[in-house]
Structure 1
Amino acid sequence: MKIRDFRLRTALCLRTALCLRTALCLGSALTALAVTGGAIAASSHAVPPSGSTTTTPFTTPNTDGCPQKTKPPAPIDASEVPAPGQPTPSPLPVPVPPVGGTRMGECGVVLPKGAPQLPQDISATAWMVSDLDTGEVLAAKDPHGRYRPASTIKVLLATVALRTLDLDKTVTGTQADADMDGTRVGIGPGGRYTNRQLMQALIMASGNDAAHAIAAQLGGDEAAVAKMNELAKSLYALDTRTATPSGLDGPGMSSSAYDLSVLFREAMTIPLFAELIHTEEVNFPGYPEDPKDPDDKDRPGFPIGNDNHLLYNYDGAIGGKTGYTDDARQTFVAAAQRNGRRLVVTLLKADVRPIRPWEQAARLLDYGFALPQGTEIGKLPAADTKSPKSTAALAAPPSQDTGQHAEAASEPTGSSGKTLLLVGGVAVVLVLLVGARRTSRPRR
């Protein structure tokens, strides 16, 4: 976490700190930053604290026996229990032959002949590295294994919405938006937001309140989910079934490392999507204390930041999307570019040990960039097989000027600065504890 990122997240925490957990989380981050004077590799969607340790030896999950060939692992909570009177969804059919080529049907680690040893400390149960431009799959583990996507499915919602909605239209926030479970960017009833701002909240900050406001304009949750599933099917993402617009777990929800690569590649055909995943910070509107009085501005606007740590810490990072639920665990999709080559990495059912998901993604990207161009064990669907609304060309890559990141990385933090951070951190935590008024839920 760079100093700049730290300041941004402090502002966000001050805005959303409504519970003891948030205060403790901020206190832990401030203390660690003060002690180390360096980066804290923390996932914004991770439940375990950044300083957590375990005595259990780490082993990468073995998928050689194809345990998730037809459906995700059993849920650990009741989030996927169908509503009364609704049937339990049957597993999606398994395509034969597998989409993407014969080797994409393998369930263990899939590497090209003569490939070097994989990087260590990858906890993701399934993952894949592919070329964003050519569609070549370079390396994978259980590529078509079915897992829950969590908030990475917002990539699919964003694609539908960016092609459907008027981005300059202004909509009014509702109490239903504000009451959404999981991660919320801070939409308030009576607040006025353009669809462009809602897309910023959805893509950059993973706001489930923004997902609800967007889905409402697509006809409601059920209609939005139907549109998302229709697009996924048209892209040959046949392991994917959306149950909620936001990625919160629901009956029948599933995707795969292969499918997430397909969905992200499709989203990258939209220039605004490519722009937003690469944007570090924007200002977001506040909302009136009294929803009946739109001129009341008691809740001022605030900055929102991109929650993808790879963007701040990896040379050539283009951007991506994070996710977490109790059942899905850590999920991630992101892209980076080097020497004119752009690669995508996807992670499913990862954990925050032994290293954070974005760090696992970084190691897999390094591995992919080290492989010779033209390396291929499979293929993403060709552009001409995509939906009629898809453009043939991917959005132009963002500038490789990383001066903003480099400047943040080079900011000095002397011992006096560390002391100030530590003291300030304690003070902020005390303020948050006193001001806490309601309980928050795990970020999703």
Structure 2
Amino acid sequence: MRTWGPSVALAAALLLPLSTPVTPAVAARAAAPARRLPGGAPPCPNVPAPATRPPQAPPSPDPAARSVGGAALDTAGLVVPPVATAPPPVTAISWLVADLDTGAVLGGCGPHEYAAPASVQKLLLAATMLPRLDPNREVTMTAGDLAIEPGSSAVGLAEGGHYRIETIWLGLLLKSGNEAANALARLGGGPDGLAGGIRAMNAEAHRLGARQTHAVTPSGLDGPGQFTSAYDLALIARACFADPAFRRYTATRTAQVPAQPALRERAFQIQNDNMLLDHYPGAIGGKTGFTDVARHTYVGAAERGGRRLVVTLLGAEIPTQRGWQQGAALLDWGFGLPRDAAVGRLVEPGELDRSAAPPAGAASALAGHADLGGGAAAPAKRPGTGLSIAVGAVLVAGGVVLLARRRRHAAAVASTGTVLRGAKIPEGD
């Protein structure tokens, strides 16, 4: 079982959303300390969950990486705006809700905690390879593409079969096909094939500012040294939803995989495993995930009242609610917050590379830089659009309850136990 350390109150900076004019009323609201919720701020998870075994100890925490998007996000516990109601109970070890358009982070729990991604890693593959691959190109599936863990999720593409790349994308995003992930990484990896594709994924994560993400497999099947965070997943999802092709694929309910007469393979239909599309008004897509090590992971997005929000969850259990249901509850919570409520922001692609390392103690892009003198910062473009938004924000002192968390790690994984497996389950994989 996990054990939790005592809560400690620390001072932190609270970042106003990028699009909010700094009026006296807004400044007064932001100046209020983060409110202690009834019973105290709950840790993550805030519903008891069974102990799980990570693939290995996470990397040594990087203080700079943990403050990307704002100093208030550097917590293993709950961070919410002063005006927020208590978020719904979920079993995820970490989660985050953010605005896809403004980049405002509405709240989260352990947003920069390391965890294994499972198949939500396929979103990083999509962000990397969608701009590189012609969807109308016909390609041939190889034996290497089909070299996936027995029992893990697959579309059913045949070795030697000829498919349009668009069909492979649909197989990846609807059915979480691991053979589809291998094929797309190989095709977009240049002369080095699959290895080159994985390197490109890591380069794209770095460009997006996802500094706690490292891919070892293109599919999300567990591998040593493979990690991400709820914050990083929001950055990656934002890049994906900026791509029209991704938005179309991820919202597709059903698709047809063509017959392969030469292989005596019949055509068949695939359905989208993301149940949010069928059960949540305004749902626009997302991705499910599961492995023995990562447990349940989820990314989902929806639109309501002109706002597009995304939720990311890692390390969830499903005793009563599946990942998409926990995500739906957090989306409802996010849509219920005022439009100017935020605890941080999603950095823009390339922003961290453009920001010079600041002197010790100085504000920076890592901590959600704002011009305290009232000057306007340079406008930043939203991913995938030509629109610019003014990055105007004010840092104010706010009390944030930080809960120190200690995880009790299990013994080394046995060779026949939970190793490199992605068991196929009804939710997706």
Q: What is the one-letter code of the residue matched to 2:130?
A: L
Asked if structure 2 preserves the Cα contact closer than 8 Å seen for 1:130 and 1:138, the reply is yes
Residue 272 of structure 1: how far off its partner (Å): 0.2
Q: Which runs of 5+ in 1 are unaligned?
A: 1-59, 65-72, 81-87, 288-294, 397-439
Change (3 A) 1:387 1:213: farther
* 1:269 lines up with 2:242 in the alignment: yes
Residue 352 of structure 1: how far off its partner (Å): 1.0
More strand by share: 2
Whole-Å separation in 1 of the counterparts to 2:385 and 2:264 = 40
Structure 1 match to 2:391 = none
* 1:104 lines up with 2:77 in the alignment: no
Task: String of CA shifts for 1:342-361, please: whole Å, max 9, x gaps.
Answer: 10000000011221111111
Structure 2 match to 1:174 = 142
Residue 286 of structure 1: how far off its partner (Å): 3.3
Asked if structure 1 preserves the Cα contact closer than 8 Å seen for 2:198 and 2:216, the reply is yes
Q: What is the one-letter code of the residue matched to 2:157?
A: I
Question: Aligned match of 2:255 in 275, 282, 290?
Answer: 282
Equivalent residue pairs, number:
316
Residue 236 of structure 1: how far off its partner (Å): 1.0
Structure 1 match to 2:88 = 119
Structure 2 match to 1:442 = 423
Following TM superposition, the consecutive aligned residue runs of length 4 or more in structure 1 with deviations greater than 4 angstroms are 88-92, 393-396
More helix by share: 1
Structure 2 match to 1:243 = 216
Q: Secondary structure at the match of 2:225?
A: coil
- Aligned 1:290-439 pairs, distance under 5 A: 295-296=261-262, 298-382=264-348, 385=351, 392=382
Residue 298 of structure 1: how far off its partner (Å): 2.0
Q: Secondary structure at the match of 2:144?
A: helix
Asked if structure 1 preserves the Cα contact closer than 8 Å seen for 2:209 and 2:350, the reply is no
- Report the identity percentage: 39
Asked if structure 1 preserves the Cα contact closer than 8 Å seen for 2:135 and 2:165, the reply is yes
Q: Which runs of 5+ in 2 are unaligned?
A: 1-40, 46-51, 355-379, 387-420
* 1:194 lines up with 2:173 in the alignment: no
Asked if structure 1 preserves the Cα contact closer than 8 Å seen for 2:69 and 2:347, the reply is yes
Question: Aligned match of 1:132 in 79, 100, 122?
Answer: 100
Whole-Å separation in 1 of the counterparts to 2:226 and 2:248 = 28
Residue 221 of structure 1: how far off its partner (Å): 2.6
Q: What is the one-letter code of the residue matched to 1:307?
A: D
Q: What is the one-letter code of the residue matched to 1:232?
A: A
Whole-Å separation in 2 of the counterparts to 1:336 and 1:358 = 12
- Aligned 1:140-155 pairs, distance under 5 A: 140-155=108-123
Question: Aligned match of 2:62 in 93, 107, 115?
Answer: 93
- Name the TM-score, length of structure 2 as normaliser: 0.69
Whole-Å separation in 2 of the counterparts to 1:336 and 1:222 = 34
Residue 191 of structure 1: how far off its partner (Å): 0.8
Residue 94 of structure 1: how far off its partner (Å): 3.9
- Name the TM-score, length of structure 1 as normaliser: 0.66
User: RMSD across aligned C-alpha pairs, in angstroms?
Assistant: 2.7
Q: Secondary structure at the match of 1:282?
A: strand
